[in-house]
Structure 1
Amino acid sequence: MKKTLLLLSLVAAPALAGEGKWTPQQVLELDPAWLKAQGLQVPPKRLWDPKRGTGLLAGTVSVGGCSGAFISETGLIITNHHCVFSIVQEHSTPQRDLLAQGFLAKNREEELPGKGSRVLVPRGFTDVTKEMFAAVPEGADDLARQKAMERKEKELIAECEKRPATRCRVASFDGGVQFVLLDSVELADVRLVYAPPRAVGEFGGEEDNWMWPRHTGDFSIIRAYSAPDGSAAKYDAQNVPHKAEFFFPLSTEGVKPDDFVMVLGYPGTTFRALLAEDKAERQARFYPRVIDVYGELIRILKEEGEKDPAGKLAVAPTVKGMGNRYKNAGGQLVGLKRGRIVEKHREAEAAVVAWAEKRNEHAGALKARSELLSLHAENAKTFEREFLLDVLRMASKGPSLALTLARLAQERVKPDLERRPEFMERELPRLADRLEREQKNYFAAADKRMLLALVRRAQALGEGERIAAIDKHFGRTYAEKDVSAKIDALYASSKVLDLAERQKMAGETEAQLRARKDPLLDFGFDLAAEGVALDELRDRRAGANVRLMPPWRRAVMAHAGKPVAPDANSTLRVSFAKVKGYAPRDGAFYTPQTTLTGVMEKHTGQAPFIVPDKVAAAAAAKKYGPWVDSRLKDVPVNFLADADTTGGNSGSPTVNGKGQLVGLNFDRVWENVANDFGYNPDVARNVNVDVRYVLWMLDQVEDADGLLRELGVRKGPKAQERR
């Protein structure tokens, strides 16, 4: 296997503590003696073999924006309940509400396929920094630079994906200090094996989201399948369970305070490398706007959903996704203020500037920073328009689908390497899945009300930030009855929201689509024009960023004089941690574990604190089985650790020093949300489901004997004999 070059030489490991989302290759540079002292009981090369470019870490997989882990050689994967929410919803109806009831496949024939669900298994990492920069023509401006690098990225990916069932991407580290080609096997046959009732999987709902103490069973089990010859394949009844080379056995002993753990996964995006002014804008403008806009959209979705049982099911995933983003924004604001993160970053940045001013070799870093600040000021002028246009392009299903169809028709006529990345041939199967899957999430009454709210906001924009598509179709000033009537007419006379017609449209040319005279499609084409202009503007900014950030980041890392892990970018990482509590405020201390007794204490019989009858009965009877913690004298439910995590770590396996799974990451505490901008060891805590709660649910509540045998925690027939 190919291997990535080192981003940094990692020394002085004891200084790392829980901070850092380290790449697999970086782990090999940590002091083995220090890792052993922390609690690692396997050789570091078992985690990642540099010769093969794989290892135990490859048991961690990417699951559609979340993380997950193989837990058997027969393709079983554990991830969060909220990460497979769409599969459960896909198979739910008002008459058979699997979201509410939960689901357990008694045999493999009963497992439910997830349309469009995919699992990526890491296979190789290759440094391509030289190739990326060599592709930039001499004298290129920022837009040309970005276009050239994007084309090279596409070429590298195309070459990488010549092998069947392969998914590749190029990831940027530290704003362009390094580029790495990631090579993964794509498993496209994914089936639901077990999901607990929603009242377990999101016990506490939004009220407990990001909070501690927590008592949520946010876990589910899926299975990846392959063709009979072992190759990756799309869904087929003849497929067989995927044989995983690496998987994490389940620890039946769980954890206790101060235990060493590792959290493995694909953390999405963090912002620690941003300049202080960029962080300040997020605090002053971005997060307040998220709370404002998404708060209104969530209220609309809930109000309309309560009027219709089918509508409530349809909007559930959107409410869940928006709700998480909404509450996250609130936590970011609290954390940024509490930790004085912007102020501290200004001080740290000033220290780097003062240090660099005395070193000629970093003169370019100072110049780059000055230009980055100028670009920041320029970009801020169109913030409101860009934010609203982004929401408009994805929130309301009607405009979003119409825009997608319009852009698809326009992009498809171009040579593949000249298309926007999201419309290249490799993306068309995913796009087709989305065009079909969104039908399940569409509820007309809610969709039209959301569009009405967004039009009202767009019509209130100032002269320099107008959205031309809104002005053209709805006028420049807001009159609710008039705009509402136009929206009703737009939807009533459109075929975009008819699944069969939409699938036909996906194969039509721009001329054919325009000949339909479909008003929603016409609106989509006008939104697409706005999108094209915004994409080009952002490409120019990206080109400037990749020119300016590397010299500045090199100066920052040189000034630090110690390891600096790169910002999260949805690539495989590992964070080392200890199980520990924390003090959320003066005079209070939270212990790091919660129990089944705590679940029942929260039970009110009213949402979001409803314990399903079968769970309550087992708890009342103290049917703990072998899953009781001898110290707690109870079944452990959740635990805290000081791992460095973020969004994308949902479903990350939390493993002990032996490489056994002891839990499943699903959240952070409220005080730690702003961890995205800076690690604070006092409050940096991630929230995990204890594996013993998972096993208790399967054993004492669900009586899932066959699944427990397959997982190797109960004696019986071999895993492959489960039927």
Structure 2
Amino acid sequence: MKKLTVLFIAFIMGFSGALKADEGMWLLPLISKLNMNKMNDMGLKLSAEDIYSVNNSSLKDAVVIFGGGCTGELISDQGLLLTNHHCGYGNIQALSSVEHNYLKDGFWAKSLKEELPAEGLSVTFLKRMDDVTQKVLEGIDADTEAEERKKLIGENITAIKEEASKDNDYTVSVKSYFEGNQYFLIIYEKYNDVRFVGAPPSSIGKFGFDTDNWMWPRHTGDFSMFRVYADKDGKPAAYSEDNVPLKPKHHLPVSLKGVEQEDFAMTIGFPGSTSRYLTSWGIEERMNVVNNARIIPRGLKQDLWKEDMLASEKVNIQYASKFSRSSNYWKNSIGMNRGLEKLKVVDSKKEIEKEFTAWVSASPERKEMYSDVLSTLEKAYADRGKDLKAQSYLIECMLRGTEIIALGTRTLKLEKALEDEESDEKVKEVADGIAASLDAFYKDYSVSTDRKVFSAMLELYYKEIAKEYYPSFYNDVVIKKYKGDFNKYGEVVFNKSVFTDQKKLEAFLADPSLKLLRKDPVFIAAKSTIKLYKELYGKVAEARASEAENNRLFLKGLMKMKSDKVFYPDANFTMRLSYGKVGNYEPKDAVIYKHYTTLAGVMEKYEPGNYEFEVPERLIELYDTKDYGQYAATDGSLRVCFTTDNDITGGNSGSPVINANGELFGLAFDGNWEAMSGDIAFETQLQKCINVDIRYVLFIIDKYAGASNLINEMTLVK
């Protein structure tokens, strides 16, 4: 096993120069062996130790997981944190009300006392990553059966985590890379007292909204600011007025030097998920099943949401974050399908599979190891196709689409407690737990809005999915009793159910009845939905296990077959580094996009009355007077955004864009429409990382908001 690991690492090291610098999401502990020569040739002035060090201050100590799905960076020695506006959006929304609409008006704390606790928000620091492949695969060889392999890996990982958790309060995980061919132990430290410091209004922070999302040219000031607090010893602690701003091990100096063509650019962050080694069958499934099951239901749901959001400021606040989360990957899925088709990625994968088959056939040893891999993968995808489509639509139409059904699923444990005649104390414990979650739910819930969505989503599922996959309440209630009239069914559900009214539900939970619960139409629909979901999950999981094992073997063989190519692991929301340069690009014939945009472009897009392209009066004044201060470019303009060819994906949102000297000069927030297929197939000519220029961020903080207190605590480099 030791020999296998050594050969594996040697393989990667041996061909690290074969790929363009802009492709790859690299593991920081390996960059000294894999990437430093190339990065230094491109202009980087730092050492590997400056970027990743376990014992000394390094760039990795300034970069954090923000919440559960974004990246942030520390920009002062007082725990001041910068991330994207869209990353902080949910927290800003949660703190907003009609009286204090921070989404619409923005917010700036002029002192520590004015900072607002962001309940439930955490930031997580990486302490270290250790290669534990040999320990995880101990006792496993080429003859170990898949089930036994899975069992041994699970046992070994448990032992590794237990050992790493001794005598500390760190969060410990073991992550798989290269489809289970490599493993790393990852040690994190989480801070749970995080406070909202500042954000521009959405007319700046989300300028362009859905129309400009995933597009270039871009003019969005996509940033927000928070602060990390700790106890007096600098350790993580629950919120307390006695907590103090964290003094981080490292914070990023902020560059005022600007952005030019061919400048070196490095991102460090937590990319969520890529599938660069997916087979042709996997890509077809992603396009035709998973993406379409996201595109069609979300498009309908978002239209209904938007109608009510435009009609009511209260509903707009309630659904702003929900809409943003839903629409982001709705549009991404549309662009991904378009890109995969245009680039003929399925055809390219089929050629690789054909080559792999020929390579396997040329050797008896390879035949023994890999002969059934591709045929088994093809069968696994075929076997689960209908089940996965039904499961995907069930999730999008009911569990995520109709909020009231999702609420109903929370009472399944209560039914079990009542059914099993648990003690009064146990029933009360379950009921009180549900009741405690209701304020948060109803705060951001519009009954009339969800009523429309409920009927539309259920009818869509009815039309798109085969009868064999209908949840039981379709046949027993909707079809049998209401003749398939989903509008009529929706009226009855929302008129009769206790779930549509917080006070009624709280009264029921104070004295729960099994008979009444089982008669409630929302509970009936929720229980039926979850029952079907579990059945489908079991079927899909069985095929997925076969897929996972054979993907591991396919990638293992592919790396041996393509021994002239470097392989980097797919993203899995662990810290990665990417590197590239600032530059233009040509999306189509006769079109060249410049690498930067300016405030003049904001004014060109300005449309009074159109919420997507509104511009605050104060920003118009600053533009008219050209009062840009030290944040202006050498030509006198104010740069807003710029593009690099760094390799990023979801989860990288908020990642610092770092120059050759280790200074912050931008904030990554998006990719470009022409390369939405990038999570599956990186396109070296078109793929771009869209970033907000740090000078625009500072200009908004200083000149627009007058929050000079925040500027003063940063380390500015001129």
TM-score by length of 1: 0.88
Unaligned ranges ≥5, structure 2: 420-432
Aligned residue among 485, 489, 492 for 1:479? 485
Q: 1:228 to 1:190 in 2, by over 3 A?
A: same
Give a deviation string over 1:336-368, Cα, whole Å, max 9, x none.
122222211221222222223223443222322
Aligned residue among 322, 325, 329 for 1:321? 325
| Paired residues for 1:30-69 under 5 Å | 30=34, 32-49=36-53, 52=55, 55-63=58-66, 64-69=68-73
Separation in 2 of the partners of 1:542 and 1:194? 44
**Structure 1 residue 54: deviation in Å?**
8.0
| Paired residues for 1:113-124 under 5 Å | 113-124=117-128
Counterpart AA for 1:445: S
Give a deviation string over 1:532-556, Cα, whole Å, max 9, x none.
3334334433432342222211111
**Structure 1 residue 679: deviation in Å?**
1.1
Q: 1:503 to 1:270 in 2, by over 3 A?
A: farther
Q: 1:57 to 1:431 in 2, by over 3 A?
A: farther
Separation in 2 of the partners of 1:158 and 1:136? 21
| Structure 1 stretch displaced more, 382-391 or 283-292 | 283-292
**Structure 1 residue 322: deviation in Å?**
1.4
Aligned residue among 550, 553, 563 for 1:551? 553
Q: 1:538 to 1:143 in 2, by over 3 A?
A: farther
Unaligned ranges ≥5, structure 1: 414-429, 716-723
3-state secondary structure, aligned to 2:372: helix
Preserved CA contact (<8 Å) 1:120 1:167: no
| Paired residues for 1:552-701 under 5 Å | 552-561=554-563, 562-605=565-608, 606-630=610-634, 632-701=635-704
Separation in 1 of the partners of 2:139 and 2:331? 42
Q: 1:127 to 1:306 in 2, by over 3 A?
A: same
Aligned residue among 458, 461, 478 for 1:458? 461
Q: 1:572 to 1:360 in 2, by over 3 A?
A: farther
Alignment match, 2:423: none
| Paired residues for 1:47-196 under 5 Å | 47-49=51-53, 52=55, 55-63=58-66, 64-129=68-133, 132=136, 166-196=170-200
Q: 1:709 to 1:139 in 2, by over 3 A?
A: same
Give a deviation string over 1:463-510, Cα, whole Å, max 9, x none.
3322235444534662134312232135x42378569949979xx9xx
Aligned residue among 235, 239, 253 for 1:249? 253
| Structure 1 stretch displaced more, 384-393 or 456-465 | 456-465
**Structure 1 residue 524: deviation in Å?**
3.0
Aligned residue among 232, 237, 240 for 2:241? 237
3-state secondary structure, aligned to 2:588: coil
**Structure 1 residue 174: deviation in Å?**
2.1
Counterpart AA for 1:709: N
Work out whether 1:9 is the aligned partner of 2:12. Answer: yes
Work out whether 1:528 is the aligned partner of 2:530. Answer: yes
Q: 1:140 to 1:124 in 2, by over 3 A?
A: same
Give a deviation string over 1:51-76, Cα, whole Å, max 9, x none.
64983223211112011111122111
3-state secondary structure, aligned to 2:573: coil
| Structure 1 stretch displaced more, 640-649 or 245-254 | 245-254
Counterpart AA for 1:401: L
Alignment match, 2:360: 356
Counterpart AA for 1:480: F
Q: 1:457 to 1:542 in 2, by over 3 A?
A: same
Separation in 1 of the partners of 2:716 and 2:290? 47
Q: Give % identity.
A: 28
**Structure 1 residue 245: deviation in Å?**
0.6
Separation in 1 of the partners of 2:399 and 2:139? 32
Q: 1:140 to 1:531 in 2, by over 3 A?
A: farther
| Paired residues for 1:213-292 under 5 Å | 213-292=217-296
Q: 1:80 to 1:521 in 2, by over 3 A?
A: same
Alignment match, 1:427: none
Q: Number of residue pairs matched?
A: 690
3-state secondary structure, aligned to 2:296: helix
Alignment match, 2:425: none
Counterpart AA for 1:242: L
Q: 1:579 to 1:710 in 2, by over 3 A?
A: same
Work out whether 1:396 is the aligned partner of 2:398. Answer: no
Q: 1:253 to 1:498 in 2, by over 3 A?
A: farther
Alignment match, 1:370: 375
**Structure 1 residue 100: deviation in Å?**
0.6
Q: 1:15 to 1:677 in 2, by over 3 A?
A: same
Preserved CA contact (<8 Å) 1:496 1:502: no
Counterpart AA for 1:553: L
3-state secondary structure, aligned to 1:583: strand
**Structure 1 residue 18: deviation in Å?**
0.5
Q: 1:158 to 1:434 in 2, by over 3 A?
A: farther
Q: 1:405 to 1:251 in 2, by over 3 A?
A: farther
3-state secondary structure, aligned to 1:385: helix
Give a deviation string over 1:398-430, Cα, whole Å, max 9, x none.
21132244269879x9xxxxxxxxxxxxxxxx9
Q: 1:375 to 1:435 in 2, by over 3 A?
A: farther
**Structure 1 residue 516: deviation in Å?**
4.7
3-state secondary structure, aligned to 2:311: coil
| Structure 1 stretch displaced more, 640-649 or 537-546 | 537-546
Separation in 1 of the partners of 2:46 and 2:436? 41
**Structure 1 residue 682: deviation in Å?**
0.7
Separation in 2 of the partners of 1:520 and 1:164? 45
Compute the RMSD of aligned alpha carbons: 3.3
Preserved CA contact (<8 Å) 1:318 1:441: no
| Structure 1 stretch displaced more, 432-441 or 526-535 | 432-441
TM-score by length of 2: 0.88
Q: 1:143 to 1:468 in 2, by over 3 A?
A: farther
Preserved CA contact (<8 Å) 2:63 2:73: yes
